[in-house]
Structure 1
Amino acid sequence: MSASGNRGQFAKGTSGNRRGRPKKKPIGFRTLAELDQVILGVMNRQVSSGGGGERMTLLEFNCTSLATGKSANPLACRSVIRIAIDCAKREEERVCEAERRAEQLREREEARLRAEQSRFDYHGGD
C-alpha cells in the first residue's frame, strides 16, 4: 500500500513533479509588424553620444557615427540604418493600407445611406 492510501500515487498535497509545472516558452514575434515595432522602439531609445554627454536616439547615433567617420564598424551602422528604414517603410505602408480600408468602408456606408434615402424618397416617405 502506498503512503497516500488508496486514493492515488502521491500523498495528499504532494505532486510527482518537485520542480513544479514547466514555464511556458515565450512565443516570440508572431508577425513582421510586431518585430518592426520592437526594432523601431529600440532605434528611438535615447543613448549617450560619448564625451559630450549629448543624448540622441540610437538611429541618430548610428547616422552621426557614419557621417563623421567615427564609427568603429561602418558596415554595422549602415545595416542598422537600412533595417530602420525598411521597418519604417513597412509601418507606413500598413498605416496607408489601414487608411485606405477605412475610406472604402466610409464610401460603402455613404453609398448604402444614399440608396436607402433614395428608396425612401421614391416611396414618398412611406
Structure 2
Amino acid sequence: MMSIYVVPVFHHGGTLVTLPNGSVRYVNGKVEKYPPMDIDFVNWKDLETLGKLIGYVRFEAMYWHEVPATEFGDGLHKIQGDRDINDMCDFTMMHHLDEIHIYLEHPIDVPIEAEVDLS
C-alpha cells in the first residue's frame, strides 16, 4: 500500500467568533504550514507537538475543518481523541485532500506575581 502524505496547516493566535447572522469565523489568526506527514501516522501527540512548536504550551481546544464546507462552522470538528483524528484522516483521504486544517483555541496566559529576593 502506498503512503499518503498531507500538509498540516495550523491556524493559531485567533479566536472563533459567532457573528450576528449565526455564522462562525476564525478571526485575527495566523497560519503555519508544516512539512507533509504520512496520514496513517497522524496522532494527538504529533498534533500537540506541532502546536507547541508554534509557541503554545496549552490549548483550550483543537479543531479540524472539512475543506470545503459550505459554511465554516458546519465543517468545524473538535478533536478530543483518536476517534476524531481517525475521522479527520478518513475525510481527508476520501476527498483526496493534500492538507489538513487545524484550528487552535488557546487561553490567554495571565502573568503570576511572585516575590523574588534579588539580594
Q: Which TM-score bucket, shorter chain as reference? A: under 0.3
Q: TM-score, normalised by structure 2?
A: 0.20
Question: Which structure is higher in strand share?
Answer: 2
Higher RCO structure (Cα 8 Å, ≥6 apart): 2
TM-score if structure 1 supplies the norm length?
Answer: 0.19
* Rg (Cα) greater in structure: 1
